[in-house]
A and B are shown apart, each in its own frame.
Chain A
Amino acid sequence: MTDALLELQDLSVAYGGRRGETRVVRGVSFALRAGEAMGIVGESGCGKSTVALTIVRYLGRGGRIAGGRILFEGRDLATLDAAALRDLRGRRVAMVYQDPMASLNPVMTVGRQLIEVPMIHDGAGRRAARARALAMLEEVKLADPEAVMERYPHQLSGGQQQRIVIAMALIAEPALLIMDEPTTGLDVTVEAAVLELVRDLRRRHHSAILFISHNLGTVAGVCDRIGVMYRGELVEDGPVRRIFADPRHPYTRGLLDCLPTVGRDKRQAPLVPIAGQLEPPWQRAPGCGFAARCPHVEAGRCTTAPIPLAPFASEHRVACVRAGELPAYARRRADGAAVTAVRVATPVVATEHLGKVYVPRRRRLGRRRWPVRALNDVEVSAARRQTLAIVGESGCGKSTLAKVLAGIETATEGRVALDGVEVGRLGIDRRGRQLKRKLQMVFQNPESTLNPSHTVGYAIGRALKRLRGGATRDIDAAVARLLETVKLAPDMAARVPRQLSGGEKQRVAIARALASDPDVVVADEPVSALDVSVQAAIINLLTELQASHGTTLVFISHDLSVVRYLADHVAVMYLGSVLEHGPVERVFTPPYHPYTEALLAAVPVPDPERAGPRVVLEGTIPRAREVPRGCPFATRCPRKVGAICDDTPPPVQRLEGEHRIACHIPAPELAALQPGLVEPSRHGP
């Protein structure tokens, strides 16, 4: 390809370590034309970020380019010297990283940091540079650019910071912009706004974009082409529509099959996790890297020689010998028998007027600190054997609610009934053994959920001993049984957490929670730190365990796709209040609360056909101590009707099917205003 702006030719990267050199990128070749946007997707450890860092030659210690060329505007970056590279970076190639706070200097105002860029790279004067910075801030849609220039990074929200970083990257009009997971870690509404901005900027600037992401949904909306990476190799690339419509590599298909979307639920389209797990790069058999996990593997053909990335159709390349033989792609579906209507069920956990106010201790010096209202008049209920999902952006109080249910925090107002027993004011140390057994918790972070000093067997055994009692002899057998329940080998009991993968750790955590055979399991974002293929397996495990153990699941999540998939009932929270509560089918169809509508519109859809402009929520969540007097959502609501929203708390409208919406707009009117954002029929039986 002659018109390529960037062309990687057989690029290999290796990292040296104690076990010798390990190839983390193996023979990656692709070309990026000027102005084109290419997405690189893959799970953690697939080498996508290493590719990005190699292009700008920012490899970490011990890393080296082991072969191949990186042609950028006709020059080979792999052999460029430091001075030439410095000249290139920032001016011709710019980079946006995942964590904006890490890219901004905390002791300089963002204005100074922005102005520096044109001054250093283009030799612009201070005044000209300032004008350009202001224009750029306007372009990344930051309100009041003059004021923003004077701020320090910590005074801006995450979304604003990421906009500044994007402005900084674009101000020098680079030919290539590399974005490494630019929206990971942002809330879904902020992510939507940043993606919208990237789409918009693409129309006006002619920078080519290399967009690294683990999320097929975000990539689908922004890019023209997609490359899928697995174990350091590019296994498939092609135009975004083609990849989504007719993926030819089994790994790409696997990724799509295990992705929950807002249109899927557990009754219609179960997730299909990818079998097995990612092996470390130093254990590599000859042949296809995916062979060990591939459902289409054929002994001999797949496992003898390396599989090259071969053209399959125009612009579409696949690294699979069987690419042409695979059947046409259809997202896997269930056998059709939909689970019937919601049973009338008794609530196991129910809250009434639940409130939690944190009163900070008074300090002798300094200003008075205001109490923070984390939960306000929360009313939710979880029915036996069903899943209640609590969804909302960070800071909405969903984790506080989980902690109050679990007794790690205690309520300051209202009631929490657990199987009819009032536990709202009972901290965990005051709950008796029977109550403790009834409700257990699965935590968010797989890295901190297990004690690194204890073996898996000890962690589970200790929970058994404390909550069930029984002789030590039986405990080993019980541990083995629990490990089998969560689909881990019994010999895992001897391992320590360091030797487990993230998904395995989370399985152990689930086994530990199940040790007491609880009625209710509160799971606080149990899958949000996991890769999609692992996430699918854990979600399926939770659904199965619920069916077999009859457990009630309270599932805290920020991910609407997962919630849609897993939940029977949903509570949508914002600033400590429940804005909408009801059966999942009703919450995800109009009428919605305007906030639910905004959340749903913001979810990145892994479908290039539907990734048009969407409702984008303006502004940021007010701080918890500045909760508006009226509707908490009033400051950002796109459907605000007037002063009544600011002044009067909205009435709770009770609709049919136990569906509640807290909004001033009458439900029929809301329904008339709102388009259906979710089309379950797309993937339904």
Chain B
Amino acid sequence: MATVDVLTVSPPAASRRRAPRWWRAARAIRHSTTASIGVAIVLVWVALALLAPLLAPYAPNSPDLLALAHTTPSRAHWLGTDHLGRDLVSRILWGARPVLIIAPLAVLGATILGSLLGLAAGYKRGWIDLIVTRACDIVLSFPVIILYMIILAHFGSSAWNIIAVLTLTKAPIIARIVRGLTLQLREREYVAAAKMRGESSLYIMLVEILPNARGPLIVDMCLRTGYNIIIIGVLGFLGIGLPPPDPDWGGMVKDTYGMMMVWPHMALFPCAAISSLVVGFNLLAVGLRELGWRD
């Protein structure tokens, strides 16, 4: 075997030029069928979103009044049009863009904020721990949809506000995970060794502890991205998502679900887009867990 599996087996003693660590880790994904399928789905959507200007047969917001007579899928409109005669293929392709930007950015924000809180709580213990865990409990016990409605109604609905809201509501979950890991990792002997050479707490948290929590964190980030995509859909459906007329999968469902009995394709295709992307991220997370990334 020419390549070396980085997760479980140590390579032979002979030194040789090795690819960077992240690349080897990424290549390890092919050992899990589940993760590979997940990556494939996600990458297909990323490619479609990137190439939307080239691939989309129509402008996403321009109505084709002629098509209104036959909104169902046809040769001209592969997935049909919506109630305003806008091409669904184009709208779904363009709609992938905001989702694929907002969901990962929100996860990144939540991970950074949550990791810092979790590290501080788990490593410092004491009153910091008390405040952080209680604050997390409060946020987590609040009915999130109502929270979203209040915040977005107050500050207005924009991509940045959605990212901020998702960051705030997801950070407590990450904080809990990181705190739990930190509680274990702080007892490791390498942490004691770091103290023996007089490292600062910040160094120990960020350099000694955090890198060893990355496995479970990456798995969780994948899961969390999927959940965020659902929430973005929900926000769109509730009418507090991205403002119209730009295509937004949740908003597309909202606009057309009343016509479900007559033209089910108008709502079903955006729904299918949401679920396929969520399934992709979930498969990736499950696959990574199979590969042993949880520890």
Contact = CB atoms under 8 A, between A and B. Distances in A.
Interface of A: 18-19, 283, 406-408, 428-429, 431, 433, 436, 440-441, 443-445, 448-454, 459, 462-463, 466-467, 491, 494, 498-500, 509, 512, 516
A506 to B, nearest CB: 11
Contacts of A429: 195, 198
B197 A441 contact: no
Interface in B49-65: none
Contact of B199 (A406, A444, A453, A466): A466
Contacts of B33: none
Given A451-B212, A499-B10, A441 B193 contact: yes
A443 B198 contact: no
B119 to A, nearest CB: 14
Contact of B197 (A283, A443, A462, A494): A462
Contacts, number: 68
Nearest to A467: B197
Contacts of A459: 190
Given A463-B197, A466-B198, A448 B10 contact: no
B192 A450 contact: no
Given A433-B198, A451-B212, 4 more contacts: A436-B197, A449-B189, A451-B190, A463-B197
Nearest to B21: A496
A424 B30 CA distance: 54
B190 to A, nearest CB: 4
Nearest to A408: B192
B15 A444 contact: no
The 9 closest A-B pairs by CB, nearest first: A453-B211, A443-B189, A451-B190, A466-B197, A499-B10, A449-B189, A448-B188, A448-B189, A463-B197
B22 to A, nearest CB: 12
Name which of B8, B15, B188, B193 has the most chain A CB atoms within 10 A of its CB: B193
A509 B194 CA distance: 12
Contacts of B290: none
Nearest to A432: B198
A436 B189 contact: no
A448 B190 contact: yes
Interface of B: 1, 5, 8-12, 15, 31, 188-190, 192-193, 195-199, 208, 211-212, 214
A498 B10 contact: yes
A19 B1 contact: yes
User: Taking each of B5, B9, B199, which has the highest tally of chain A beta carbons within 10 Å of its own beta carbon?
Assistant: B9
A18 B189 CA distance: 32
A494 B21 CA distance: 12
Contacts of A509: 193
A585 B260 CA distance: 92
Given A444-B189, A453-B212, A491-B15, A18 B196 contact: no
A638 B35 CA distance: 63
A410 B15 CA distance: 44
A449 B198 contact: no
Contacts of A500: 10
Contact of A449 (B193, B199, B211): B193
Given A18-B5, A449-B189, A498-B10, A436 B212 contact: no
Contacts of B10: 498-500
B291 to A, nearest CB: 11
Contact of B193 (A431, A443, A491): A443
A622 B32 CA distance: 51
Nearest to B189: A443
A427 B1 CA distance: 51
A217 to B, nearest CB: 28
Contacts of B197: 436, 462-463, 466-467, 516
Contacts of A18: 1, 5, 8-9, 31
Interface centre among B15, B198, B199, by most chain A C-beta atoms within 10 angstroms, is B198
A504 to B, nearest CB: 10
A4 B258 CA distance: 82
A428 B198 contact: yes
A242 to B, nearest CB: 37
Contacts of A406: 192, 196
Contacts of A463: 193, 197
A445 B189 contact: yes
Contacts of B188: 448, 451
B212 A428 contact: no
A467 B8 CA distance: 34
Given A448-B188, A499-B10, A436 B196 contact: yes
11 contacts: A18-B9, A408-B195, A441-B193, A448-B189, A449-B189, A451-B208, A459-B190, A467-B198, A499-B11, A500-B10, A509-B193
A406 B214 CA distance: 30
Contacts of B189: 443-445, 448-449
A429 B12 CA distance: 40
Contacts of B8: 18
Contact of B190 (A407, A428, A449, A499): A449
Contacts of A444: 189
A388 B77 CA distance: 85
Contacts of B1: 18-19
Contacts of A436: 196-198
B151 to A, nearest CB: 35
Nearest to A427: B195
Contacts of B12: 283
Contacts of B9: 18-19
B38 to A, nearest CB: 20
A516 B196 CA distance: 11
A494 B190 contact: no
Given A444-B189, A449-B189, A494 B212 contact: no
Contact of A440 (B11, B15, B196, B208): B196
A444 B199 CA distance: 21
A283 B211 CA distance: 32
Nearest to B211: A453
A428 B196 contact: yes
A441 B190 CA distance: 11
A498 to B, nearest CB: 6
A431 B196 CA distance: 10
A512 B10 CA distance: 22
A18 B1 CA distance: 9
A18 B31 CA distance: 9
B15 A494 contact: yes
A377 B54 CA distance: 81
B5 A450 contact: no
A449 B197 CA distance: 14
A16 B225 CA distance: 35
B278 to A, nearest CB: 30
Nearest to A522: B196
Nearest to B197: A466
Contacts of B199: 466
A18 B32 CA distance: 12
Contacts of A450: 190
A498 B215 CA distance: 15
Contacts of B198: 428-429, 431, 433, 436, 466-467
A406 B190 CA distance: 14
Contacts of B192: 406, 408, 441, 443
A494 B10 CA distance: 14
A463 B15 CA distance: 25
Contacts of B190: 448-451, 459
Most buried by A among B10, B31, B192, B197: B197
Nearest to B213: A453
A500 B10 CA distance: 8
Nearest to A453: B211
Contacts of A448: 188-190
Nearest to B6: A498
Contacts of A498: 10
Contacts of A440: 196
B6 to A, nearest CB: 8
Contacts of A499: 10-11
B131 to A, nearest CB: 17
Contacts of A467: 197-198
